[in-house]
Structure 1
Amino acid sequence: MTFPAFASTQLDPRARGKELGTARRAAITANLAGYGDLFAAAGASPPQVRAWGERALERSAAWSPRLAEELAGIAAGAGLEPWQVAAVNARTEILAAVAATGEGECSTSVVLPGGGAAPRTVQTWDWHDHLREAPMLWELEPFPGHVVRTFTEAGVLAKIGVSTAGLGVHFNILRHRSDHAELGVPVHLIARRILDEAATVEEAAALARSATVSASTVITVVTGRAAASIEISPAGVAVIPNGPDGVLQHCNHFLDAALAEGERHATDRPSTYERLRHLSEHVEELGGEDPTGRARAMLSHGPEHAPVCAHPDLSQPIDQRWETLATIALDLPAARLRVHRGGPCQVTEETWQVF
């Protein structure tokens, strides 16, 4: 099983968005409906969601007019209102606004082996199982000669990805006590601008610091020379570089000491610490050249062990059900993604989708 893929042909942001919206209309509409169900289960009313979507669109337009144009184009192509597409892109912010909680989420490992060898990366992407049809792969050219390839959700501008500038990003959600309901720039748009515009860790961090946010996340940026986890929250932005051994690993809690004082996962999602311990105990395998070996090193199931590979508890409501929907490795020299549909327990040499 593979994820649907789409390659844009348009350079103009609005035209590119409309092309995607037209081609993926059914999937974008279904994703909007799925998020409507998730928002309702988490306690957000339809009028609140609309107000937050409109606010997210305003903040996006002020921070990046080009990306706001692309959102509007997607809406036009999909037959939706711009605020609806903005709400899907701002799903992290809306869930933070209602203080949504739950056990689950992603684990990321990066190893820089040195000696000119390419970075060795892998992450699990956990999300709610009723949204398992939302992911897609998207290739676009935001500027002439600059190609971005991203694993994202239908209608969302970016998530995990690589660019021909030699930069890649991994993506994990965070929760902080400073998160609030006055919606800011969606963190998924920050990931997209980093893929579009940055070639170094420093440039990526500057873009992250330029956005006023209302929700937290960590974008782990990788280049051939360096890596850093850029922890973003309304309380500030912190940059956690790779260690002297070239290792950088992140789950769903803050590593920066100052930001960690406002940590919410300490009580809401304690398994994040177990998952990070699992990664640190398997650095050798996670630093291997073979992406299948790296993915298998992520294999660990709860409740007996760290739940790196998640499977949903169908007895729970939809906002409390988590599944590892994808396992992803970055190939920076080729500017390609290796994507497996499902968790590490299902990975084989043949199940990788190269995009």
Structure 2
Amino acid sequence: MTFPTFTSTQTDPHARGKELGTHRRKQITGNLAGYTDLFETAGATPAQVRVWGERALDRCAGWAPRLAEEITGIAAGAGLEPWQVAVVNARTEILAAIDATGEGECSTSVVLPGGGLPPRTVQTWDWHDHLRDAPMLWELEPAPGHVVRTFTEAGALAKIGINTAGLGIHFNILRHDTDTADVGVPVHLIARRILDEAATVEEAADIARSATVSASTVITVVTGSEAASIEISPAGVAVVPPGPDGVLLHCNHFLDPALAVGERHATERPGTYIRHRHLRDNVEGLSGEDLTGRALTMLSHGPDDAPVCAHPDLSQPLNQRWETLATIGLDLPARRMRVHQGGPCQVTEATWQVF
């Protein structure tokens, strides 16, 4: 099984968005419906969600007008209001506003082997199982000759991805004491601007610092020769480099000592520490050249071991059910991603989708 793909032919932001919205209307409206159910289950009212969506779009228009135009274009193509597409892009911010909690989420490994060899990366992407049809792969050209390829959710402008400047990103959610309901720039749009504009870790960090946010996340940036986890929260932005061994591992807790003082996710659901320890204990396998081998090294199921590969407990409400929906590696030399639909326990050489 593979994720649906779409290649934009339009270069104007509004036209590009409208083209995507037209061709992926069913998937985008379905994704919005799934998030509407999630927010309602977590305690938000429709009126609150609309206000948050409108605020997110306004913040986007002030920080990245071209991305706001693209959101408006997607809405036009999909037959939605712009604030509704903004809701999909601001789902992290809305969940922070609701103060939603949950055990699942993603694990990321980056190893810089040195000696001129390319980085070895792999990530699991965990999310709610009722949204398993949301992911898609999208290729676009935000500037002449600059191509972006992203694994994202239908209607969201970016998530995990790579560009033809040779920069790629992984993406994990975080939670911080300073997260607020005063919705700021959506972190998914920070990821998109990094893919659109950055070729170095420093450029990516500068983009992150320029945004006023209300929710936390970490964007792990990788190029052919460098990597860093850019931890983003309302309390500030921190750049966490690899260790002396070239290893950079991230789950869902802050690594920067100053930001870690306000840690929320791990204080309520400490499984992130267990997953991080599993990665650290298996660095040798995560350092291998073969992506299938790296993905299988990730493999670990709860409750007895670190739940890096998540499967939903169907007895739980939908906002407490988690599934590893994708396993992803970045191929920096080829400027491509390799994507597997599902968790590491289902990975074989034949299941990778090259994008």
Specify the alignment match of 2:245 in structure 1. Answer: 245
For 2:269 and 2:155, the matched residues in 1 are separated by 28
What is the aligned partner in structure 1 of residue 332 from structure 2? 332
Aligned partner of residue 181 in structure 1, secondary structure? coil
How many pairs does the alignment contain? 355
Structure 2 match to 1:99: 99
**C-alpha distance in 1 between matches for 2:268 and 2:290:** 34
Q: Which runs of structure 2 are paired with 1:222-237 in the superposition (5 Å)?
A: 222-237=222-237
Partner of 1:269: 269
Q: Which moved more, 1:238-247 or 1:146-155?
A: 238-247
Distance, in Å, in 2 between the alignment partners of 1:152 and 1:66 is: 18
Q: Is 1:78 paired with 2:78?
A: yes
Shift of 1:269: 1.7
Q: Hey, what does 1:68 align to over in structure 2?
A: 68
Q: In 2, Cα distance between the equivalents of 1:269 and 1:145?
A: 44
Task: Write out aligned runs for 1:111-190 (5 A).
Answer: 111-190=111-190
Query: Shift of residue 243 of structure 1?
Result: 1.4
Q: Please say if 1:49 is aligned against 2:55.
A: no
- Taking the aligned partners of 1:266 and 1:7, their CA distance within structure 2 comes to 38
Deviations 1:12-36 (A, max 9, x none): 1100000000000000000000000
Deviation at 1:130, TM superposition (A): 0.1
> What's the counterpart of residue 199 of structure 1?
199
Using the alignment, how far apart are the partners of 2:41 and 2:108 within structure 1?
28
Letter in 2 for 1:84: Q
What is residue 37 of structure 1 aligned with on the other side? 37
Whether the 8 Å CA contact 2:252–2:266 is kept in 1: the answer is no
Contact 2:61 2:67 (8 Å CA) reproduced: yes
User: How far apart, in 1, do the equivalents of 2:268 and 2:327 lie?
Assistant: 24
Separation in structure 1 between the aligned mates of residue 312 and residue 269 of structure 2, nearest angstrom: 15
Q: Whole-Å Cα distance in 2 between the matches of residues 167 and 286 of structure 1? A: 20
Tell me the CA shift for residue 94 of structure 1.
0.1
Deviation of 1:266 (Å): 2.7
Which one-letter code corresponds to 1:2 in the other structure?
T
Give the whole-Å Cα distance in 1 for the aligned partners of 2:288 and 2:153.
Answer: 29
Q: Deviation at 1:51? A: 0.2
Q: What percent of counterpart residues are identical?
A: 81
Q: For residue 312 of structure 1, what is the aligned residue in structure 2?
A: 312
SS in 2 for 1:109: strand
- Measure the CA separation in 2 of the matches of 1:269 and 1:137: 31
Q: How far off is 1:245 after superposition?
A: 1.1
Match of 2:280?
280
- 3-state DSSP of counterpart to 2:48: helix
**RMSD (Å), alpha carbons:** 0.5
Matched residue SS, 1:32: helix
Q: Quick one: which amino acid aligns to residue 279 of structure 1?
A: L
Q: CA deviation at 1:143?
A: 0.3
Deviation at 1:265?
A: 1.8
**Counterpart contact for 2:24–2:154, Cα < 8 Å:** yes
Report the equivalent of 1:213: 213
CA offset digits 1:65-89 (Å, max 9, x no partner): 0100000000000000000000110
The structural deviation recorded for 1:267 is 2.5
> 1:27 corresponds to which letter in structure 2?
Q
CA distance in 2, matches of 1:225, 1:120: 11
Q: CA deviation at 1:217?
A: 0.1
Mean Cα deviation higher: 283-292 or 264-273? 264-273
Counterpart secondary structure, 2:40: helix
Counterpart position of 1:58: 58
Secondary structure, in 3 states, of the residue corresponding to 1:152? strand
TM-superposed deviation, 1:295: 0.2
TM-score normalised to structure 2 length: 1.00
Whole-Å Cα distance in 2 between the matches of residues 249 and 69 of structure 1? 35
The question of whether the paired residues in 1 share the 8 Å contact of 2:10 and 2:19 is answered with yes
Aligned mates of 1:104, 1:249 — CA distance in 2: 17
Distance, in Å, in 2 between the alignment partners of 1:42 and 1:215 is 17
Deviations 1:83-112 (A, max 9, x none): 000011000000000100011100000001
Alignment-mate amino acid for residue 167 of structure 1: L
Letter in 2 for 1:177: D
Q: What is the distance in 2 between the residues matched to 1:197 and 1:116?
A: 25
User: Does the Cα contact within 8 Å between 2:148 and 2:163 map onto a contact in 1?
Assistant: yes
Helix, strand or coil at the partner of 1:21: helix
Q: Which whole-Å deviations, capped at 9, do the CAs of 1:164-198 have from their partners, x for residues lacking one? A: 00000000000001000000000000000000000
Shift of 1:254: 0.2
The runs of at least 4 aligned residues of structure 1 exceeding 4 Å deviation read none
Gaps of at least 5 residues in structure 2 are none
